Amino acid sequence: MVLSFGWAQSKLNSTSKLNSTSKLNSTSVNTVTGPIPIDSMSISLIHEHMLVDFIGADSVSPARYNQDEVIAKVLPYLLEVKKYGVKTIFDCTPSYLAKDPNLLNKLSEQSGIQIITNTGFYGAVGGKYLPDFAFSETAEELSNRWISEFENGIGDTGIKPGFIKISVNEENPLREVDAKLVMAAGLTHQKTGLQIASHTGTWATAKQEVATLQEMRIDASAFVWVHAHAEQDFQNYLEAAKLGVWISLDGIGWSLDEYVDRLLFAKENDFLVNILISHDSGWYDPAKVDGGDFQPFTNIFEKLMPTLNAKGFDESDWQMLLEENPKRAFGISNGQIQ
């Protein structure tokens, strides 16, 4: 076993440092194998995918893939990233894009990695991944579906979501259906305490979502601005950080330079404490032969770390980005678990 940095090595060798963040001990998160204390999340990747099917809400179906074939494809990549000390992965595949809690459960059992799934709907790409009822139901009706997944489990699986994942189209103002998804996410958050991660892109769109939540008296820190690396004006990161928004720089599986620039800016301007990082890597695609090419979950450890360490990042920065920030963003208090 070869590790590139000592901090993860110590994590692998020691599982008894659970009281180092006692403030967080009262919080938990739902994984696909059940709730865990937040301190056992350890090193976490907050935005990855095991399986995604882009066929659309009208045709998506578990019949389009063989679970055993998906597991055979994905499992080696989970085992690969374990050597870097990763203990928890958030699967960001939403409903109607082949979210499959039972598959995630099997992958978790076989890999030993804690996997977290989500509730919510994906509005981007013009609503291609929304069921028809998402257009006709109210925000409250949609939120009742998501709250039910939190309280009773997803479908008949008994598996509960650990966060809310929505997405919106990049428009100003937001499309009616997208604004409704944000409100439904807010209502679900109020009832469950689940964090809201929204596939967005630029701050011009994300700030509309934050404003909607603030009108509902929800703190901006309940919101994860997903794909925030799409933002080109770095001043907007400062604006988001001041509000307490979580800034998710989550495409590191696909490129490096834009992340180096943004993370250096965040360190220089003292808001690494608002940053989440991940690869947006994976995934088995049922439309492709043998699930297509799989992007591994390792760029952060193999490429980003050495590059930024040469520019002044140290172990405390990585511990904040990969361990402390995910816990603070996604932990929910025990009182909110039903």
Closer to Zn ion at the Cβ: 284 or 313? 284
**Strand 332-333 relative to strand 27-31, pairing:** antiparallel
Dist CA 166 CA 148 (whole Å): 16
Closer to Zn ion at the Cβ: 11 or 229? 229
Among 89, 92, 228, 247, binds Zn ion (CB under 5 A): 92
- Considering the rule CB under 5 A, would residue 280 count as an interface residue with Zn ion? yes
Dist CA 293 CA 286 (whole Å): 11
Closer to Zn ion at the Cβ: 52 or 179? 52
Smallest distance, Å, CB 278 to Zn ion? 9
Dist CA 317 CA 60 (whole Å): 40
Smallest distance, Å, CB 308 to Zn ion? 22
Smallest distance, Å, CB 293 to Zn ion? 16
Closer to Zn ion at the Cβ: 78 or 92? 92
Token pair of 57 as six digits: 């809400």
Rg of the chain's alpha carbons, rounded to an integer? 19
**Which of the stretches 9-17, 130-138, 267-275, 278-286 binds Zn ion when contact is defined by CB under 5 A?**
278-286
Total number of residues shown for the chain: 338
User: Helix, strand, or coil here: 65?
Assistant: coil
> How many residues in the shown chain lie near Zn ion by CB under 5 A?
2
Smallest distance, Å, CB 176 to Zn ion? 24
Smallest distance, Å, CB 338 to Zn ion? 28
The DSSP code for 158 is -
Closer to Zn ion at the Cβ: 184 or 197? 197
- Considering the rule CB under 5 A, would residue 48 count as an interface residue with Zn ion? no
CA atoms within 13 A on the CB side of 313: 25
Burial of 63 (0-12, 13-18, 19+ CB in 10 A): exposed
Closer to Zn ion at the Cβ: 51 or 92? 92
The CB density around residue 338, as the number of other CB atoms within 10 Å, is: 9
Closer to Zn ion at the Cβ: 50 or 92? 92
Residues with Cβ < 8 Å from 183, sequence gap 6 or more? 139, 143, 212, 216
Token pair of 97 as six digits: 């894009």
Dist CA 72 CA 69 (whole Å): 5
- Nearest by Cα to 113 from 74, 147, 140: 74
Smallest distance, Å, CB 330 to Zn ion? 16
The CB density around residue 152, as the number of other CB atoms within 10 Å, is: 13
Q: Print burial letters for 46-60: b (CB count within 10 Å at least 16), e (below 16).
A: bbbbbbbbebebeeb
Fill in the per-residue mask, 94 to 133: x = in contact with Zn ion (CB under 5 A), - = not in contact. ----------------------------------------
- Considering the rule CB under 5 A, would residue 305 count as an interface residue with Zn ion? no
**Which of the stretches 28-36, 85-93, 182-190, 253-261 binds Zn ion when contact is defined by CB under 5 A?**
85-93
Closer to Zn ion at the Cβ: 92 or 187? 92
Smallest distance, Å, CB 287 to Zn ion? 17
Contacts with Zn ion, residue ranges (CB under 5 A): 92, 280
